[in-house]
Amino acid sequence: MGQLLKKSGNEQNFSKDLLHGVDEDGAEYFTVKSTGESGMSHGGLARFVDKDRTAISKLIRKVRASDPNSNNLAPCLKPFAGMRLTLTGYSDGQGRDIVEDGFCAAVVEYYAKWSKPRQPGGNIKAQQALKLIQHLGMRVFIHQKTGWKANSGSSIPNDFEQEFAVHKERFTVRQILKIENHPELMSAVQLWQEKHSASRMIFADTNDALNKCLQGLKSREIKKQNNLSKNAAIRDYYDTRPLMDYSAMSKLAANQIRYHDVHPVEAVCKALDLYMPKHKAELIPVIENIYKADKRLKAEAKQKRLAAGIQLSLPLDI
């Protein structure tokens, strides 16, 4: 079993097998280095949904003991009936089981939608957590907490396929962020602008707020710092993790605007507090333009197939 070095705060703990992240409230996150499989401790999951550890352990026992074909579980828990629910072969620093990420997500949904709180508003934290993980996915959310990346020990057959796989993930997240494909934030800003008869400057102000929260600079300042042209789309030069941060922030800010009529700039600040409350703004490193990388990798993959007959496990189309 993987044993962890003990550290405090949000520092990442490294061992032979696991990466470890800790929130300020004590919620713990774990990722298997070689596979990316992730999970949370019982206590960490309890803190995540504002319940006590006993309630989480009781729920786990109930789901494990349930008949997969006939049970009275909430819909989000039914797929897990009779299953182990923990990462096989791994434990936290105290030797306790780690609850696997898929079931963690189901538990969040259960407490946000299906359980009855003892007092009004008792599920607010679970509801907030659900909004976050619905957009990112629980595993990606935990990866953000533990710092795991696809090239940090995963077993991909060779260097080229590993680079291709990492690029595919990056490309997919970038496509989600493109306004024409996924207009989460700007469409919400447009509704707010029309409702309040605000100046169209609100679009630029919101984008500047997003960049300042994450990087401490406005878009034009970021371009100048990185020697990018004025017409460059700065997110075409970011790696997957920063793109995920922008994506999550955009989704959370859009929800604040749509459902609570929050001023867009204030909504971005609220999104940062929810997603990364201890974040310190710093310039994000730029890498190869994503579309140039896409063209290069596809051409290289095609050459490998034609010249050497290599059967890559990754498709040419992304």
Statement: residue 175 has pLDDT above 90: no
Question: What is the predicted pLDDT for the residue at 193?
Answer: 95
Q: Per residue in 69-86, pLDDT tens?
A: 888 898 888 888 888 898
Q: What is the pLDDT of residue 189?
A: 94
Q: Which residue has the tokens 């434990």?
A: 91
Tell me the pTM. Answer: 0.52
Q: Has residue 177 got a pLDDT over 70?
A: no
Query: Where is pLDDT greater, at 241 or 287?
Result: 287
pLDDT digits (tens, 9 = 90+) for 195-226: 999 999 999 999 999 999 999 999 999 999 99
Mean pLDDT of 180-192: 77
For residue 123, what pLDDT band results from cuts at 50, 70 and 90? low
Q: Reply yes or no on whether the pLDDT at 318 is more than 70.
A: no
263 near 282, Cβ under 8 Å? no
pLDDT value, residue 241: 81
The more confident residue out of 24 and 5 is: 24
Report which of 91, 86, 85, 88 is spatially closest to residue 73, judged by C-alpha positions. 85
- Mean per-residue pLDDT over the chain, rounded: 79
Of the two residues 209 and 163, the one the predictor is more confident about is 209
Q: Would you place residue 131 in the very low, low, confident or very high pLDDT band (cuts 50, 70, 90)?
A: low
Decide: 112 and 123 in contact? Cβ < 8 Å.
yes
Query: Of 118, 137, 135, 111, which is closest to residue 56 (Cα–Cα)?
Result: 111
How much is the average pLDDT of 57-71? 91
How high is the pLDDT of residue 1?
Answer: 26
Q: How far apart are CA 235 and CA 185, in angstroms?
A: 15
Confidence band for 316, pLDDT divided at 50, 70 and 90: very low
Q: Please report the pLDDT score of residue 105 as a whole number.
A: 85
Q: Is residue 14 scored above 80 in pLDDT? A: no
- Report the pLDDT value the prediction gives residue 310, as an integer from 0 to 100: 43
Say which residue, 213 or 119, is predicted with more confidence.
213
State residue 261's pLDDT score.
94
What whole-number distance in Å separates Cα of residue 173 and Cα of residue 190? 23
Per-residue pLDDT at 192: 95
Greater confidence (222 vs 277) lies with 222
Nearest to 209 by CA among 299, 146, 160, 271: 271
